[in-house]
Amino acid sequence: MPRFETQKSPMASYHIRQYQDSDRESVLDLFTRGMEEHIPTTFRHVLTLPRTLLLLLGVPLALVLVSGSWLLAIMCIFFLLLLLRLLVRQPWKEYVAKCLHTDMADITKSYLSVCGSGFWVAESGNQVVGTVGGLPVKDPPLGRKQLELFHLSVSSQHRGQGIAKALVRTVLQFARDQGYSDVVLETSILQQGARTLYLSMGFRQTGQYFLSVLWRLMDVPVTHLEYSLPSA
């Protein structure tokens, strides 16, 4: 059984426990809000791309040369910014919708009814403030037994208290107890806080790819990270 962690300090008090069905609404809300937080970051990232700057400057300038109207050019810039904003929302919204119809549709069935898997929440003041899950990798490399970490999330009001690190430790300890050789996960380059945490805890990057053409256009690759557990 995994060891559940309790942390108490003048600034924070929380404990980590296994997910219960009564947590469902809070967990889904935390997950959805956490994913939507990446939309502004993605928008700012896209605005810095050379192709975006070329679009925002080139198209309005072409309109001025053709029509002679600066007002039309300014309206065009606002329209392009709105279009870009809608564009960067789409992949995050699609990811949330996909999860809500797959593993997050029935968390108990997906994570607690499968051997070698689990889902945990961090609770503070009778409120769910963090989540993390783990599922066995279906086709791991030959000779390896891998657990994949999913849905690490901490509410914005409770960050900086070590909750995310404690949740990751819970997954790592569970993996050790279950005889896994590695814990793996995927995250985007824009999730810098999470990436920094994982790397500081001993994860290493083993790959990088784009989920779709849209992600490639936005220059947002997904990185694959791996933590190798010591042999017993």
User: What is the structure's pLDDT at 118?
Assistant: 98
Pair 158, 3: CB distance under 8 Å = no
Which portions of the chain are predicted below pLDDT 70?
Answer: 1-12, 232
Q: Are residues 111 and 184 in the same domain?
A: yes
Mark which of 62, 82, 99 sits at the end of a domain: 99
Is residue 225 within 8 Å of 204, Cβ to Cβ?
yes
Domain count, the chain: 2
Q: What pLDDT, on the 0 to 100 scale, is given for residue 173?
A: 97
d(CA 6, CA 124): 10
Which residue, 54, 81, 99, sits at the end of a domain?
Answer: 99
Report pLDDT for 10: 43
Residue that terminates a domain, selected from 65, 99, 133? 99
pTM of full prediction above 0.95: no
C-alpha to C-alpha distances, 49 to 44, 83, 104, 120, nearest whole angstrom: 9, 15, 34, 38
Task: Give the model's pLDDT for residue 231.
Answer: 73
Q: Strand 13-18 relative to strand 6-8: parallel, antiparallel, unpaired?
A: antiparallel
Gyration radius of the chain's alpha carbons:
21
* 95 and 111 in a common domain: no
Q: Using CA atoms, how far apart are residues 3 and 13, in angstroms rounded to an integer? A: 17
Instruction: For residues 134 and 77, state if they share a domain.
Output: no
132 and 19 in a single domain? The answer is: yes
Range of the domain at 76: 38-99
